[in-house]
Amino acid sequence: MSKTRYSAFKVLKEALTGHKGWEPTWRDAEPKADGYDVIIVGGGGHGLATAYYLAKNHGITNIAVLEKGWIGGGNVGRNTTIIRSNYLLPGNEPFYEFSMQLWENLEQDLNYNAMVSQRGIMNLIHSDAQRDAFIRRGNGMLFADAGCEYLEAKEVKERYPFLDMNNARFPIKAALAQPRGGTVRHDAVAWGYARGASDLGVDIIQNCEVTGFNIENGKCLGLQTTKGDIKAGRVGVCVAGSSGRVMAKAGIKLPIESHVLQAFVTEGLKPVMDNVITFGAGHFYCSQSDKGGLVFGGDIDGYNSYAQRGNLPVVEDVCSGGMAIMPMIGRARLLRMWGGLMDMSMDGSPFIDSTEIDELFFNGGWCYGGFKATPASGYCYAHLLATNSSHEVATAYKLDRFRRGAMIDEKGVGAQPNLH
Amino acid sequence: MIINHPLLGPRDSEEFVYLGSTDLIDRPTNWEEDASSEDFYQYQYIRDNIAGNHRELWYHEQGDQSWLVVTRNTITHEITNVELAQDVSRAMGRGK
Ligand SMILES: Cc1cc2nc3c(=O)[nH]c(=O)nc-3n(C[C@H](O)[C@H](O)[C@H](O)COP(=O)(O)OP(=O)(O)OC[C@H]3O[C@@H](n4cnc5c(N)ncnc54)[C@H](O)[C@@H]3O)c2cc1C
């Protein structure tokens, strides 16, 4: 397929010539009989980004991405699209800042409009202790050149007059903002990376579920799939919420539990909030989509689940969080709600690592924060798959870190995945 | 979800706090030996993360404060069995 470059000129030309010159964005492929140098399992954002960077940065192009459904049908198309690099710990913050820098150049790199919108994110502060903790976090961000801004209550109120500043239980005292944070059109990220990878020769194979691994003498030689066996020089698993059940087929148990996270969107409203706002005393966060809907979410449902749908108690919890900071949300009607599978790790941080089986690699444990990580995750996973060594910003993401006592626990809640 | 408490009857799952797999009952007892660090690592951090029938611990915080072992399908959320954790623990040869 020839590579069509998207541009304003191309749009104009097509408009004048009856839109006959558009081609499929990427090529739908079937498995090759003689296999691949690298197979990526999972056509989510991370899998597609990995394939793209393997081809672009490392010149490895004999690659397949196997997806059991359709690309973009997993979490990459279910998340609330927030990107930020406002982490605290040294194992995390440089990685997420690297991701932010990749977002900032993503559309130019992919020649694809992913609607990267650096509208800013604002974390509300409700107590003096929380102010201290957030100032510490802000200093961590400054160390990593991520940038941040401390806002006094007066400034917060001026920017967002609808906030309930004097809520009896959770008054808003201040906020920590990251002006470079924001939102990205989530499924455009999947399509953009798919197009970039496909143009570099990567086979994207949909409706192809991996059902087993062909392992001999501790080495992975290929995969069993619903489209037959496929040989692979190297395999990179990248299936997010399905990590547990896929790796179990290779006999590997993980420090991960799968949980469900829900998200919500209201009817379209006139513009009221031009950034992302998060509640600091409960779990609620909100932004407004370009269509006007308030997109919001909160806690995970709290028990192991592979159901991709949630239960009502959490709906109530999330909505009461919303009412506590922005009571006007009670007037809006809810349009849609949905759930996705979270690969919740034991410390809330991810893994990009080799496994005890030769030529089998693992990427997962992204919890509810893996969308923002998509570019860096793909970049670093490609680095690992191509060079056998961790990229410098991902050295802490090892599977054995709990054995060594080297957890990266941002919240400090311990090995209790439903609290991260 | 409704949890059919063996003593109190059907209760809303909201009254409970979730802990995780029933494997957490089986805490290693060899803590005086050097080899126990590996056992504690497996116990504390590694999960079967089952897609299907999962036996798990729920604590009836807003009720009689008993621990229950609930067998629940993680794909459909259907609950098929509820036992008192102390009975399960005894059956495993441990104390209550
Ligand atoms: C409601 C919700 C809100 C969220 N909000 C945010 C947010 O605001 N910001 C943020 O940073 N993150 C957020 N996340 C988290 C983020 O979406 C995920 O961490 C991230 O998308 C996971 O990586 P992925 O895109 O590769 O996953 P996925 O898109 O889930 O990709 C995994 C793919 O693997 C496929 N697969 C599974 N099993 C097999 C198999 N056996 N064979 C072949 N293929 C298989 C699946 O079908 C799936 O397409 C949110 C998640 C949810 C559910």
Instruction: With cut-offs at 50, 70 and 90, classify the pLDDT of residue A3.
Output: confident
How does DSSP assign A46-83, residue by residue?
Answer: HHHHHHHHHHHHH----EEEE-SS-TT-SGGGTS--EE
Range of the domain at B36: 2-91
* Predicted local confidence at residue A238, as pLDDT: 97
Residue B74 within a domain: yes
C-alpha dist (Å) from residue A354 to A88, A96, A107, A320: 26, 21, 30, 42
Phi, psi torsion values for A182, nearest 5 degrees = 165, -145
> Which residue type occupies B96?
K
Q: For residue range A221-272, list pLDDT tens digits in order.
A: 999 999 999 999 999 999 999 999 999 999 999 999 999 999 999 999 999 9
CB contact under 8 A, A303 and B76: no
Residues A80 and A333: their CA atoms lie apart, in Å, by: 18
CB contact under 8 A, A306 and B75: yes
Point out the residues of chain B with pLDDT beneath 50: none
- A253: chain B residues, CB-CB within 8 Å: 46-49
Contact between A260 and A147 under an 8 Å Cβ cutoff? The reply is no
- B50: chain A residues, CB-CB within 8 Å: 244, 304
Q: For residue range A176-209, list pLDDT tens digits in order.
A: 999 999 999 999 999 999 999 999 999 999 999 9
Answer yes or no: is pLDDT of A104 > 80. yes
Nearest alpha carbon, ligand 1 atom 3: A79
Q: For residue range A367-392, list pLDDT tens digits in order.
A: 999 999 999 999 999 999 999 999 99
Instruction: Choose which CATH entry (3.10.180.10, 3.20.20.70, 3.50.50.60, 3.40.640.10) describes domain A8-85+88-110+186-253+347-419.
Output: 3.50.50.60
Residue B7 within a domain: yes
B44 at interface of A, judged by CB pairs closer than 8 A: yes
Residue B44 within a domain: yes
Minimal Cβ distance to B54: which of A302, A304, A311:
A304
Mean pLDDT value of segment A300-305? 95
CB contact under 8 A, B45 and A245: no
Residue B96 within a domain: no
Answer yes or no: is pLDDT of A329 > 90. yes
* Predicted local confidence at residue A133, as pLDDT: 95
CB contact under 8 A, A307 and B75: yes
Please indicate whether residue A186, judged by its CB atom, sits closer than 6 Å to ligand 1.
no
CA distance B44 to chain A (A): 7
Mean pLDDT value of segment A114-136? 97
Contacts 24+ apart (CB under 8 A), A100-103: A100/A146, A100/A180, A100/A181, A100/A372, A102/A375, A102/A376, A102/A379, A103/A184, A103/A372, A103/A375
List chain A domain ranges: 8-85+88-110+186-253+347-419, 121-182+257-345
CB contact under 8 A, A258 and B74: yes
ipTM: 0.95
Residues 6 or more apart whose Cβ sits within 8 Å of residue A49: A193, A374, A375, A377, A378, A379, A381, A382
Tokens 């800013």, residue located: A120
Please indicate whether residue A126, judged by its CB atom, sits closer than 6 Å to ligand 1.
no
- Residue B45, SS3 per DSSP: helix
Residues B53 and A268: their CA atoms lie apart, in Å, by: 40
- In CATH, what number is assigned to the domain containing residue B21? 3.30.2270.10
Please indicate whether residue A370, judged by its CB atom, sits closer than 6 Å to ligand 1.
yes
| Residue A24 token pair | 């499929």
B55 at interface of A, judged by CB pairs closer than 8 A: no
Mean pLDDT value of segment A155-160? 96
Q: For residue range A23-40, list pLDDT tens digits in order.
A: 999 999 999 999 999 999
* Predicted local confidence at residue A2, as pLDDT: 52
C-alpha dist (Å) from residue B78 to A80, A141, B61: 28, 44, 22
Which residue of chain A comes nearest to B45, CA vs CA?
Answer: A255
- A311: chain B residues, CB-CB within 8 Å: 1, 13, 77
CATH fold for domain A121-182+257-345: D-Amino Acid Oxidase; Chain A, domain 2 (3.30.9)
Please indicate whether residue A48, judged by its CB atom, sits closer than 6 Å to ligand 1.
no
- B41: chain A residues, CB-CB within 8 Å: 402-403
A257 at interface of B, judged by CB pairs closer than 8 A: yes
Answer yes or no: is pLDDT of A1 > 60. no
Q: State in Å: Cα B4 to ligand 1 middle.
A: 33
* HSE value, Cβ hemisphere, 13 Å, CA-based, for A404: 9
Q: How many domains would you assign to chain B?
A: 1
- A418: chain B residues, CB-CB within 8 Å: 18, 20
Residue B63 within a domain: yes
Q: Which one of A253, A303, A347 makes the best mutation probe of the B interface by having the most chain B beta carbons within 10 Å?
A: A303
Q: State in Å: Cα A46 to ligand 1 middle.
A: 8
* Predicted local confidence at residue A358, as pLDDT: 98
C-alpha dist (Å) from residue A326 to A154, A279, B87: 16, 10, 47
Please indicate whether residue A74, judged by its CB atom, sits closer than 6 Å to ligand 1.
yes
| Residue A264 token pair | 């919500």
Please indicate whether residue A371, judged by its CB atom, sits closer than 6 Å to ligand 1.
yes
B36 at interface of A, judged by CB pairs closer than 8 A: no
A88-A92-A96-A99 Cα dihedral, nearest 10 degrees: 160
Q: What are the residue ranges of helices labelled H in B1-52? A: 36-45
B49 at interface of A, judged by CB pairs closer than 8 A: yes
* Predicted local confidence at residue A298, as pLDDT: 95
- A259: chain B residues, CB-CB within 8 Å: none
The reported pTM is 0.96
